[in-house]
Amino acid sequence: MKINKDKSLVNIAKQGVLLGNRALLCKLNKTGSLIGKFDFFWEYFFNNVITSYFPGVPVVLLGKEAKELKKYIFNLNNPVFELLHPSFSARNRMTWDTKKTFSKVNKMIELNNGKEFCIDWNGKISKIEEETVPF
């Protein structure tokens, strides 16, 4: 199976995937130093932007810090998926278990908008490879 090893997230961003970080920024050399300081932004974003303008859009929360944002998401309006952060898996030399979340997201997108709007999460994947990819 050939998987795109490009570490850039430009491919999925160009397809309309929004990537956010709970802290938005941190103090120099102090990872996580501003966790929670921007929750007012995320509360507004989920309550007023996502719920109002993007009902049905799946939200994927990666890591324990991101899971804290779930309280701002109206679950009946926007399905929420929670996963370990991929960096946690990498640091612990584990395979990142995505629980097929990205396939589930694409099924929701296809159901609501059509197959042409599905996200190509990892470059082109042949039909044979598609069944063996973990996401």
Tokens 């920024």 identify what position?
25
Q: Are 83 and 60 in contact (CB under 8 A)?
A: yes
Residue 104: inside a domain, yes or no?
no
- C-alpha–C-alpha distance, residues 27 and 54, integer Å: 32
Does residue 131 lie in a domain region?
A: no
- pLDDT of 98: 95
pLDDT over 50 (residue 127): no
Q: How far apart are CA 54 and CA 128, in angstroms?
A: 33
| Predicted model pTM | 0.81
Judge whether 117 lies within some domain: no
Number of domains in the chain: 1
Is residue 71 included in any domain, yes or no?
Answer: yes
pLDDT at position 128 over 60: no
51-91, pLDDT tens digit by residue?
899 988 999 999 999 999 999 998 788 999 999 999 999 99
Whether 43 is covered by a domain: the verdict is yes
- In whole numbers, what is the pLDDT of the chain averaged over residues? 87
Whether 126 has a pLDDT exceeding 50, the answer reads no
Residue 48: inside a domain: yes
Q: Decide if 103 is inside a domain.
A: no
Cα distance between residue 66 and residue 124, in whole Å: 29
| Position 52 in a domain | yes
CA distances from 3 to 30, 98, 102 (A): 33, 15, 15
* Distance between CA atoms of residues 6 and 134, nearest Å: 17
Q: Which domain holds residue 47?
A: 18-97
Report the pLDDT value the prediction gives residue 107, as an integer from 0 to 100: 95
